[in-house]
Structure 1
Amino acid sequence: MVVGVDRYLSGPQLARLLAIGPGARPYYRVLAQSVRSLVLDGRLPVRVRMPAERHLAEALGVSRTTVTAAYDLLREQGYLESRQGAGSWTALPDAGSLGADNPWIAAEDDGLLPMHTAAPSAISTLPEAITAVTGQYPRYTLGTGYDPLGIAPLRQAIAARYSARGVATRPEQILVTTGAQQAIHLVTTMLLSRGDPVLLESPTYPHAIDLARMRGARIVGVGIPDEGWRHLDLLTSAMRQSAARLAYVIPDFQNPTGHLMDDAARAALAGAARRHGTVLVVDESWCELALDEEARATPLAAFDIDGRVITIGSASKLWWGGLRIGWIRTTAARVRRLAVLRASIDIASPLFEQLVVARLFEDIEGARAERARLLGASRDALVAELAARMPDWSFVPPRGGGSLWVRLPDPSATSLADAAACQGVRLAPGQWFGVDGTLEGRLRLPFTQPPRVLAEAVRRIAEARLRGVYGTRPAEPLTPAL
């Protein structure tokens, strides 16, 4: 008898809880995924003895080999413990065993390859930066521990980076935030009231759509042509006709299309915003991830002459998503207003993470080179895999950013995502990125995973297309995509 294990399930009892569809493939992986879901939902308590492999196989009507493979996968992932002669019982994995050590597990631990999120792993120099600032940390404990504007070294580093990119910037023009998403939230809260028109690209970053709806704003969607912003007619005419109070744009490797706006279009957009009284909120989260050196553009703020361009940046894409540090560049007066507003949310961003990011800015070119090398290899691998397995899918490989914006041969993104989930891949259908629920014929495929993971993901997606089988459908993630 194993200490602490006094409850057990029979094969038929567990089979009734699982309710797996007969067409689910590969069956052993769906079986393991279903057991994980039961444990995480609390419907299958921890330290409950599982039925013997042959008993569960009989109850499910599958081979014992299939159940053995599922049990092996559950043991590997920490959801099952076994002892010879004592059987197997449910468990919860050690948190330290997940994440980077197991690239096959999605962030929400649903067992699916995470092709729904464009979040790269940590940069190789992050541990060194953490070690370097650990010695500095104690001297900051002499103060209060928080600064609504952000610590001076980080604001100076951010301002210096803007100046180096061609936009003269002072530290007092920078507000450090807890990620780019909080930055967008603060700006929209300050500038938008219920019923105000706000212009959004379509497709765009899904959380920007969510924030506009939360504010009760009237969303004015503007489609992005396949060739990008070579002509701004749609954008500028929508700005004029709607009298948009605010326009949220992503000119640098746009999420999800990957388009890069050229300098002429940036100058024209800034001029249109002046004429029509629109504030431009420019999301530069991806701007440092040029994969081809010539794929660079002047910051849109360089064309601003009256303070109507507000720029948002982030540490998450260049360095690591776990560094919840973002920033806002705007006028010094607006920074002070935003600092007062953010006090109702969190007062200040974490001090240690701010010190780490300030340190990372010291070798930003090294980080850019590493990202370009790794993401470039992953992009090329994904392009090659898709060309080999899905030649009827069309896309333009971007010169930077982290994803492909794929056009499917028919409007089937949601059904494909369902089928792919049964094959162990979580996808981001185009509908997530559209302001009006359209773009069902599109799919965002990130290349932020290593080439071997991308190759396996494409193989499974191709299998999902071939089978067109819908097994048990995993729960949708709480947040759609990054």
Structure 2
Amino acid sequence: MVFMAPWRVGKTHLLELLGGWEQTDGTAYAALAARIRLLIIDGRITPGARLPSERDLAASLALSRTTVNAAYTMLRSEGYLQSRQGSGSVAQIPGRPPELPLPRPGDIIDLSRATCTAAPGTHAAAVRALDRLPPRLTTDGYELAGLPELRVKLAERYSRQGLPTNPEEIFVTSGSQSAISLVARTFVAPGDRVVVESPGYPHAFSALRAAGARLLPFRMDASAGWDVDGFDLAVRRSVPTLAFLMPDFHNPTSRSMTIDERRRVVATAEAHGMVVVSDEATAELALDGQDALPPIASFAHRPGSVIVIGSASKTVWGGLRVGWVRTSVENVDRLIAARMANDLGAAVIDQLVYSEMLTDFEPVLEFRRDALRASRDALQSALSTLLPSWTMSPTRGGIASWVKLDEPVSSAMTIAARARGLLIGAGPWFGLDGEFEQFIRVPITVGTEAIERAVEILADAEDDVHLGSHAGTYPVGARRL
């Protein structure tokens, strides 16, 4: 195995990620090891990243070096760190995490991702798409902006939603994450400031940081909504290049921006020459029959000042790698030029399948909404019965609920649940600086039976978290030694 440490987790950044790791009584080194282990497991510390030295971390945390050495030693013995003299300690994912024995197939409930199985009709659409493939085989198959017929259908959908769109303003990608990454690389230069929601979408944070962005938090709350005054102040003070938002059924809180919030955000952005990127992958997933709000891009007065990102993954299937960008023709040209460094177009067959699905899309949306609604209701019922002190955010649409715990023990709950076969994202994963320890995201993209079992596991895990131990893994918190 080649030992490489190509990048470093700075001690300041690690302190932000650690957050309130020492919240309850227990052994300090074990609690510190447990929090770093969780950060590696859920991706906040990327495998291959070099951690601060024991001396530097001890000084930053006001701990003895012996305590930090014991934590690092525990992580090395478990396979989460690899260390060499003079090279430091590098994060890695072991083959078999010690706190989670190799499960039997079907024993794991994976709520770490808010993903759905395929909608009915996907296979039939694929069969029809294959019938339409032969004429394409006489071409080279590269469609830099996307298949013309798919661009036409997407433009028509936006126009029906109150956002007049030409096919030339649509750019097709291999999924929404590909779109986010490409937009970041195209419109963000290293060192540029970018405003992001907090809590927000972690994979967008990663894509923006990879482009060199410096992220500025834009506070929002499941009950109070977006801090638009704070947004205006941040823009005036920092002059960011871009803002990344999810105005419709926001992930993880499920809240949608009001009309006034949309108008004010766009007005502020345009007044300061910045671009708003609107991730609308869940925009059509209203669960209670409410009317759709006007798209945030409909409030723009300057072409290209709002870039809209869409996806087939939340409505149809994640295995259908189709995403897109709706923006100005000039921005589409920039994206085409930038994409050539990474790919030369989305898969033709996937685009044909999605084009077939769009021919009669309302039944697809009805199916997805019905399934999400049933799981949301099952989650609400199970929490009311088994964890009545937890508070579920109003979930009127989207793919997940933002649940407030009665204590700030989200990371501890995540590890305790993992030991019982439930994978779920801790609240701090959705923030920038280790906050949201009193929250946990619960996707509603699995069936009601899995939702009910997941809540049973969380209720069982809560008992051990409050007792200060996790099924033989580690104490929840720590006193500093």
After TM superposition, the score normalised by the length of structure 2 is: 0.75
- Residue 332 (str. 1) matches residue 335 (str. 2): no
- Residue 316 (str. 1) matches residue 278 (str. 2): no
> In the alignment, what sits opposite 2:234?
238
**C-alpha deviation, 1:285, in angstroms:** 0.7
CA deviation string 1:442-461 (max 9, x = no partner): 10001111101111111111
Q: 1:214 to 1:320 in 2, by over 3 A?
A: same
Among 165, 168, 171, the alignment partner of 1:172 is: 168
Question: Counterpart of 1:452 in 2: which secondary structure?
Answer: helix
> In the alignment, what sits opposite 1:60?
none
1:339-418 alignment, distance < 5 Å: 339-418=336-415
What amino acid sits opposite 1:427 in the alignment?
I
Question: Counterpart of 1:281 in 2: which secondary structure?
Answer: strand
Indicate the percent of aligned positions where both proteins have the same amino acid.
36
CA deviation string 1:182-205 (max 9, x = no partner): 111111111111111110010111
C-alpha distance in structure 1 between counterparts of 2:346 and 2:330, whole Å: 20
> In the alignment, what sits opposite 1:276?
272
> In the alignment, what sits opposite 1:213?
209
> In the alignment, what sits opposite 1:267?
263
> In the alignment, what sits opposite 2:220?
224
- Residue 198 (str. 1) matches residue 194 (str. 2): yes
CA deviation string 1:294-319 (max 9, x = no partner): 15211111111102000000000010
Structure 2: segments with no counterpart, 5+ residues: 1-92, 475-481
Q: 1:197 to 1:231 in 2, by over 3 A?
A: closer
Segments ≥4 residues shifted beyond 4 Å: 40-43, 471-474
Q: Which has the higher contact order (CA 8 A, sep 6+)?
A: 2
The total of aligned residue pairs comes to: 374
> In the alignment, what sits opposite 2:424?
427
After TM superposition, the score normalised by the length of structure 1 is: 0.75
**C-alpha deviation, 1:288, in angstroms:** 1.1
Question: Counterpart of 1:401 in 2: which secondary structure?
Answer: coil
> In the alignment, what sits opposite 1:15?
none
Instruction: Confirm or deny: 8 A CA contact 2:464 2:471 kept in the other structure.
Output: no
Q: 1:434 to 1:231 in 2, by over 3 A?
A: closer
Instruction: Confirm or deny: 8 A CA contact 1:291 1:375 kept in the other structure.
Output: yes
Structure 1: segments with no counterpart, 5+ residues: 1-39, 44-69, 78-103, 105-110, 475-482
Question: Counterpart of 2:225 in 1: which secondary structure?
Answer: coil
C-alpha distance in structure 1 between counterparts of 2:436 and 2:412, whole Å: 13
Question: Counterpart of 1:141 in 2: which secondary structure?
Answer: helix
- Residue 438 (str. 1) matches residue 440 (str. 2): no
Of structures 1 and 2, the larger Rg is shown by: 1
**C-alpha deviation, 1:356, in angstroms:** 0.4
Instruction: Confirm or deny: 8 A CA contact 2:413 2:461 kept in the other structure.
Output: yes
- Residue 293 (str. 1) matches residue 296 (str. 2): no
What amino acid sits opposite 1:454 in the alignment?
I
Among 131, 147, 152, the alignment partner of 1:151 is: 147
Instruction: Confirm or deny: 8 A CA contact 2:222 2:394 kept in the other structure.
Output: no
What amino acid sits opposite 1:205 in the alignment?
Y
C-alpha distance in structure 1 between counterparts of 2:151 and 2:224, whole Å: 33
C-alpha distance in structure 1 between counterparts of 2:291 and 2:454, whole Å: 28
C-alpha distance in structure 1 between counterparts of 2:385 and 2:242, whole Å: 43
- Residue 249 (str. 1) matches residue 230 (str. 2): no
C-alpha distance in structure 1 between counterparts of 2:291 and 2:282, whole Å: 12
CA deviation string 1:243-299 (max 9, x = no partner): 111000000000101001122221121111111221100000110111122152111
CA deviation string 1:119-139 (max 9, x = no partner): 111101111111111111111
- Residue 112 (str. 1) matches residue 108 (str. 2): yes
- Residue 470 (str. 1) matches residue 466 (str. 2): no
Over the aligned positions, Cα root-mean-square deviation in angstroms equals 2.0
**C-alpha deviation, 1:212, in angstroms:** 2.0
